[in-house]
Structure 1
Amino acid sequence: MNFDLIVRGGTLVTQNGPLKADLAVSGGQIVEIAEEISSDSAQTLNASGLHIFPGVLDAHVHLNEPGRTHWEGFETGTRALAAGGATSFFDMPLNSSPPVLDKATFEAKREHGEQNSLIDFGLWGGLTPQNLDRMDELADCGVIGFKAFMSHSGLDEFPAVDDTALYEGLKTAARLNLVLATHAESDNLTRHFTEQARLGGGHTARDYLGTRPVVAELEAVQRALLYAGELGAKLHLVHLSSGAAVAMAYEAKQRGVDVSIETCPHYLHFTDEDVEKMGALLKCAPPLRSQEVQRNLWEELLAGHIDIVGSDHSPAPPDRKTSENFFALWGGISGAQSTLNVLLTGGHFGRGLPLEAVASLSALHPARRFDIAQKGALEVGLDADFALVDLSREFELTELYDRWKQNPYLGAKFKGVVQATYSRGRKVYEQGQFDDSVRGQLLRPTPKN
């Protein structure tokens, strides 16, 4: 049998652990995995000494196109993703303008993605108090799920859900058999603490950090879990920043609540002290926490209580990241290129994360949770999405591919050089070079009834 591609001599990172094997590709799919494949192929790739990871599926990205492409767009954002070993991603309904709240805005973003994305992509639909009646419409379009904010999103065009909208949104999402993802911080608490800080003249990074304490995250997580459990809805808690919030969600999962738990590389890699040193590059919500809170987060990760690590890549132009008043800065961290490396390298408390856990957190679990049947693992019949990584090498991150290159990871030392990234069997990235003739396809969930 003739194949399109055979990858020989590498170590496959599977859900059961590393496996020394060859991998054959035809028609964009993995068609054979064996200790040695003797057949011919149009192309042969020598992966000796390299680990082959399933392509990262970044479930949490803000590429802002259309409307704010000058912040970041599909072209530049997907280059950064591919350079970090990603072969697919889910784009959030904001900060594109207008946000994805109905069929027309979905189709506009889909068109831009198909024209400009280097890798495959799915689209989240938004949930606000104003578009509850459009959820069926968005489901018919093929959204990955629905994204809501329980506190101010930073954009008035995407208002936060109140209790009623969250409850009704979860109820409808359950009927549609789709996931509802929520930014879980208490709007009442964060507004109150922010007003207090500003009345007292607060303007520093430390002042900002004090306005979004862990309790604001815990209160919102608890409320969302209560509603989801009551309604039998699929809940996804995005970017949890504290071990306490993860523990609360994991305990609910053990009780039968259908919840998935996400954190981000920046919560694992940076602390509140880094915010004070680096400033605008590390402003986000929820904010970065103390080293002790980070330690607890790593403990939850190492215990297997976190399902997904997504970048929450959310860039903005330099003028949105420049102010003497920390409260006035746009909150969002650029990190699409570094998710895999953060997991492979570990932080103060993270060394020893098994390779199969890295693959599960970055690929398998997001594919399974959001019903993307053809992605997530190195298995026969799935898309040939993979990254070739040299784990024997360490490097300093000096080359960035996102639009503004305002990146807190710049200069960081990481383990594991991503040598090349293949999407559906086609090389999209290799050692700083991209194949701009490749275009990604829209991913739609195929829920199991």
Structure 2
Amino acid sequence: MRTIDLRGKSFSPAELLAAVPRATQARAEALAAATQIVEDVRSGGEAALRDQAERFDRVTGHAIRVPAEHLAEALASVDSEVRAALETAIERVRRGSAAQVPAPQTTDIGPGARITQRWQPITRAGVYIPGGKAPLASSVVMNVVPAQVAGVTSIALASPPQAGHDGRVHPTILAAAALLEVDEVYAIGGAGAIGALAYGVSELGLDPVDVVTGPGNNYVASAKRAVAGVVGTDSEAGATEILIVADEGADADLVAADLISQAEHDEQASAVLVTDSAALAERVAERVAARAAITRHAERVAAALGGPQSAIVLVDDRRMAESFSNAYAPEHLELHLVDAAEAAGRFTSAGAVFVGAQTPVSLGDYMAGSNHVLPTGGQARYASGLGAYTFLRPQQVIEYDHDALARVRSGVVALADAEILPAHGEAVEARFAGAPGAERAE
């Protein structure tokens, strides 16, 4: 991992944003490629999807719409410990998601005048589950459970066909879908899956969805940008990121283990340590080198840690660490600090914050009850992770009676005249024409 030394320097907010490590070129290339893939699916439908499956997944002749028997077989054969873990994760995420559904609120603006704020579920959701380098069965839970909690009744799930499984979706992913009673599943991968969910594929009986969600690589995240405006999307949950803020007392081996845990996802994964301790930085670098050499995905980890998106960042003090972290806005933020619980409130921009050495990101990936579909690429400065609210639309219901309308009649007409939109005022006046006391209420 390279070292970025920011000590002894002063940064404006813009300069700090420029100093954070990002793989900007990779993201730009992904956007161009993903946009073309999405357009191919929009215009070419099933034929385009089959071409992409052959090119990217080395699969031909597979059933794109997953038959019901594949789901049943996968659930019957899934390892019992994996099934138990999935069931526990489902229960925990369901409880965590339930807290994200607001109750309707009615505000009485005045006598006979009220506004009700309600949250309506979307009609149809499309969820994407990665299955390339890692078959993320846990992502089935993280996507489907919040949608179900929100009240979504139609859910389509897409995941790549697997060459090693005769073109089927990975069996653990199918088992998780079956546990959640999702029966509309498609063997489609990458950016093409996002395009298919957004535009629909009539030959497959795949109807367009209202919202597309799910994690993936930079191509999947870029495809969401390509379909934005056609459908709603969650945040662009692209190649994973971890930023760890640690002080002198942190356990270097735990910090190294957590950096590597996210680097194993993908060569484009980002792993960043921010510390004001040069001694800790040196210890972590040593432990990263030792652990990275013996982990199962050592080559992938080496590529991620050696890329421009990963670094050890040296800062002067805690305040600068906070500023750097908030500018970076990581997907996952871990605080290995002696006062982590107290300090957490000052780290305001992160997809999820993991407080203390005993709360690793791996916990959030599976069993914490939080959601692991989170914004990447700095979007945590303005976007949130996936939740039940992703599948809800806030909706205002306005109800005035005649007397309540009379009380604001003159104000509506005055503003309509000021904006040179007289028909607006006339629509109100029409409700009083010929009525006793037709003069305006003052």
Shorter-chain TM-score above 0.5? no
**TM-score using structure 1 length:** 0.27
Structure label with greater radius of gyration? 2
**TM-score using structure 2 length:** 0.27
More helix by share: 2
More strand by share: 1
